Amino acid sequence: MGASVTVYGMWKGWDSTPWENAAVIGAFGLLMLPAPPAVSLALYPYLKPAWSIAFEMLASVIYAVTARFLTNRVLLVIVIGSGVSFASTTFLPARAWGWPGLWYGLSMVIYGFFGGVMIHRLYLAGKLPRWPAWLGGIGLFAALAVPTNDVTEAPYYVFGGVVLAPLFLVCFARTQVRGVFARLCSVLGTLSYGVYVTHVPIRRILELVIAKYHLEYVPSWVFLIVVSVLASLLTVLLDRFYDRPVRRWLIARFIKRSVTANASARTHLGSGVPIRSAGQV
């Protein structure tokens, strides 16, 4: 969607991006790779929210490779180091979605990902504090309601990201939801990432429509509602006709085959007798 909006703008003369740069950005984007800095200072010019998805994929790969060596002490060092880096880079003028803010985005994702791993380990070990969920809910709404300005924004982000977010997670970690509320949480969880990804190109399309038909008088809250509704509807369609079928195919193609291969490897050739570990013999 982001690429189509950009190409349409270039065709109409509204976007000054050179065609060769657009081709390079598109080719890298198809592989989920950031645009080269020589072409664009934005990591993903066509879909700027993709920066966080790319960093989260990187964090997942790092965890998959290092999980067996990731002791609690090493994990603590990673969390503290990335937290300090996140806090310090927050005060830089460029953040997150561009090459100048690369370390900010990477530090934030590493801190959040491995901080979550540490909280999960504490939960499994029974060492996580038992704080009520309502306390986290009140704190979350209060934090979201805090007004900020150019002076207080960076300190607020540091305190909210490094301190408050983990505390909220601890409050919600033991929460069990049922019935209608559980279904509501499931729906919101399904919509969350899709809305996050699609709202930017939808917003750009609506901005073009507003400019073309001189609808600048439309209130901002109406614009917000329209973007939210369209992004939610598009997410539902993508989940139904793209995401779920692709996930089913991937699971059938790789996960089940891996399970079958592992089961075969644990069986004596030709005997059908499962191989026992030393502790079972």
Region 215-230: mean pLDDT is 92
Region 153-181: mean pLDDT is 91
Q: Is the pTM of this model over 0.75?
A: yes
Is pLDDT at 278 greater than 60 in this prediction? Answer: no
Residue with token string 């899709």:
194
CA dist list (Å): 242 to 136, 186, 235, 245: 35, 18, 10, 6
Q: Region of 270 please: left (phi>0), alpha (psi -120 to 50) or beta.
A: left
More confident residue, 14 or 173: 173
Q: Residues 85, 70, 62, CA angle at the centre, nearest 5°?
A: 65
Confidence of residue 5 (pLDDT cuts 50, 70, 90): low
Average pLDDT score, the chain: 84
Q: Exposed, middle or buried, 116 (CB in 10 Å: 0-12/13-18/19+)?
A: middle
Query: What is d(CA 169, CA 175) in angstroms, rounded to the nearest whole number?
Result: 10
Query: What is d(CA 173, CA 192) in angstroms, rounded to the nearest whole number?
Result: 19
Per-residue pLDDT tens digits for 198-213: 998 898 888 888 887 8
Confidence of residue 142 (pLDDT cuts 50, 70, 90): very high
pLDDT score at 86: 93
pLDDT score at 279: 34
pLDDT score at 6: 65
Region 218-247: mean pLDDT is 92
CA dist list (Å): 156 to 66, 143, 146: 32, 9, 9
